[in-house]
A and B are shown apart, each in its own frame.
Chain A
Amino acid sequence: MEVHNLDKKILDIIQTDFPLVPEPYKELAYRLNTSEELIIERIKHLQQSKIIRRLGGIFDSRQVGYTGTLIAMKVPGHKINNVTRVINEYSGVTHNYLRDHEYNMWFTLLAESQEKIKQTIKQIQVETGITQILNLPASKIFKIKVNFNLQGEENAKRERETNN
């Protein structure tokens, strides 16, 4: 999908440096030398076309008190639709992909404790009948990149910390 030039400039600013002022859209208009109405219209358009998934606070799940894991499952082909429905139902599942490996379903799960995660995995086993499940919580995080700068450079945030 082609992204409008002004849209790119808007996205660059609102991903990394959203103005925390009483009139943020007016501030954006001032910086990009356009009108507040056009800024609002373009953001609305970017949301409707699903380029912007969310405009708001993006929280650090660990700081908020949540813990996460990556889970891999071996799901037979004929069960994929059914299992997908079960997995996607969980609000703590934010990403779920099919991948080209015998462990073919990969999803992330966030919950308020590791205990809750273990319970959820058990529940998933019961609901889907799938027993081949790998629970792969990160034991060390070397890098999480927060976002891409659309004009080429990359904005990296490096973290090195031990989980738990």
Chain B
Amino acid sequence: MLNEREKQIIRELQEDLPLVNRPFEKIAQKLGMEEQELINKIKELKEQGIMRRFGAAVKHQHLGYIANAMVVWKIPENEIVTAGDLMSEYPEISHCYQRPTYPGWPYNLFTVLHGKTEEECINKAKRISKETGYYNYRCLFSTKELKKSSMKYFVD
């Protein structure tokens, strides 16, 4: 569990890094610590896996990856690990999760598939379906982005 001090540090580090010559010094001052101490803390948070990475979060639509499809698959429960591993091998799949099913919602494996166009996504899904042998799937395209933001922790 994180202590109050760590939460304070996370609160500062999740804001945009100042565009000044010594940005870490500026944040360190706010936190009442030394510049090098803060840099070491960032490295420590990364090593612990608490911080996934330090750097830029980029909006992909601007860079040619226009289309993404949420492709949901109906996989027999006892094959889910095999199927999940198989799907994860594909570089065009960025996310692969198992999720619960409900009456009227039979799909238990969720993948996010990227392509330059919707058509490319559809074709890739078809190819993956053929190669893996899982034929019961749906491609759900986003028709509108309603919100996309980076999470801010410990602000409520």
Interchain CB contact under 8 A, B54 and A56: yes
B31 lies within 8 A of chain A by Cβ: no
Interchain CB contact under 8 A, B60 and A15: no
Interchain CB contact under 8 A, B10 and A64: yes
Interchain CB contact under 8 A, B58 and A97: no
For A, the interface residue count at a CB cutoff of 8 angstroms equals 79
New A-B pairs, 20, CB < 8 Å, besides A58-B52, A107-B146, A148-B65: A16-B53, A16-B55, A17-B55, A51-B58, A55-B57, A56-B15, A56-B17, A56-B54, A58-B54, A59-B50, A60-B51, A63-B50, A64-B50, A64-B153, A66-B153, A87-B146, A99-B142, A142-B84, A143-B95, A145-B95
On whether A97 and B97 interact (CB within 8 A), knowing A56-B15, A92-B151, A150-B63, the answer reads no
Alpha-carbon gap, A136 to B16, bound state (A): 31
Interchain CB contact under 8 A, B52 and A14: no
A57 CB contact (under 8 Å) in B13, B48, B155: B13
A142 CB contact (under 8 Å) in B15, B96, B140: B96
Count of CB-CB pairs between chains A and B under 8 Å: 224
The DSSP consensus for interface residues of chain B is mixed
Interchain CB contact under 8 A, B43 and A138: no
B78 lies within 8 A of chain A by Cβ: no
The DSSP consensus for interface residues of chain A is mixed
On whether A88 and B88 interact (CB within 8 A), knowing A14-B55, A60-B49, A145-B94, the answer reads no
- Tell me the A residues contacting B by CB distance below 8 Å: 1, 3, 11, 14-18, 20-26, 36, 40, 43-44, 46-47, 49-61, 63-66, 70, 72, 84, 87-88, 91-101, 103, 105-107, 110, 134-148, 150, 154, 156, 158, 160
